[in-house]
Amino acid sequence: MRITQGMEAYQFYWCDPQKDYHLCGVLPERRENPARMTQESILNWGKRNFGIKCDIEDIFFIQVTIDRNSGRILRPNHKVKFYKIFYKDYELKKRELLGVLTERRNNFRGKTQFEAGTRWARLKFGDLVKDKQAIFVVPDELDLSTSKRKFES
């Protein structure tokens, strides 16, 4: 366990079929080895602990800090940027949702948010499709300060 003023944790949210999303719970990070802390392992951990019977694309997490003295959950920012990742199927003439990526970077290394998100999506989801160039992203922002939260389609 790291000795810091706060403890790292993850807030898990579930997006239901009506596109409302709900806080499932918070899990503290206890692993010492940062190589084991991958996005996939964190999502699977949340599904296992909260018994969420859904696809991995229907849940997401936000890394937070829990203050050791007060127990309050501290978020670095109340707005979270994320990308909806789509694949354009030219044969069926429709788009297909591949997943959602949560943006944690502040510096896009000279690229726009759209360019950086597209590159990241093609690296992450490129093996799942025939044509990487048919992957596109829709950047969005989620305001966590409101009590009722919804994804916009």
Every domain of the chain and the residues it spans: 6-74, 79-143
Q: Please report which confidence band the pLDDT of residue 151 belongs to, taking 50, 70 and 90 as the band edges.
A: very low
> pLDDT of 7-61, one tens digit each?
888 888 877 767 677 788 888 888 888 777 787 788 788 878 876 566 556 777 8
If DSSP codes are grouped into helix, strand and coil, which group holds residue 55? coil
* The pLDDT of residue 7: 82
Torsion-angle region of 51 (φ positive above 0: left; ψ -120 to 50: alpha; else: beta): left
Q: How confident is the model at residue 135 (pLDDT cuts 50, 70, 90)?
A: very high
- Secondary element (H or E) of residue 85: strand 79-89
Of 144 and 114, more confident? 114
Average pLDDT over residues 106-131: 86
Whether 153 shows a pLDDT value over 70: the answer reads no
Indicate whether this model's pTM tops 0.85. Answer: no
Within the chain, how many helices (H) and strands (E) appear? 2, 7
Residue 88 in this model has a pLDDT that exceeds 60: yes
> What pLDDT shows up at residue 137?
92
Rounded to 5 degrees, φ, ψ at 88 are -90, 110
